[in-house]
Amino acid sequence: MIEQVTPQQLPAWLQAVHAAGGALPLLLDVREPAEWQAASVRVDGAELLQLPMHGVPPRLHELDPSRPVAVLCHHGGRSMQVAMFLQRHGFDRVANVAGGIDAWSLQLDRSVPRY
C-alpha cells in the first residue's frame, strides 16, 4: 500500500523514515521542467530530485530501492502512478504527496505559486 502524506505531514514522515532507516529520504518531483520553473519547493530532511514522470523508468537503476521516497507532482495523480511503479520495482518505503504542489501552496506555504 502506498502511504498518502499531505504536505503538512511530510516533514514528520521524512523525519520518521530517516530515523528508522538512517538513509536520507528522497523527494522525487515528477513534474515537467516548465512546472518546476512555475513553482518549486525545498524541504528540510530530504534530497530533492526533479525527474519528469517519463524519465523515471529509464533512470530507475540510478535510484536506491532501500531509500525512502516521497513522490510529488501537481495534484497527486502522476506522483501516485510513479509511487506504485517504484513499489512494484522493489522500493521499500514510498509515499505519495497527496494533493501535490497545489496542496503544498494551499496548506503549507502560500509563497509557492499556484498554476
- Active site members: 73
Cα 30 to Cα 63: distance, rounded to the nearest angstrom: 14
Q: Give the span between the Cα atoms of 100 and 106, in whole angstroms.
A: 10
Nearest to 86 by CA among 94, 78, 97: 94
DSSP string, 57-90: HHHGGGS-TTS-EEEE-SSSHHHHHHHHHHHHTT
Provide φ and ψ at 47, rounded to 5°. Answer: -90, 135
Sign of the alpha-carbon dihedral angle for 111, 53, 17, 107 = positive
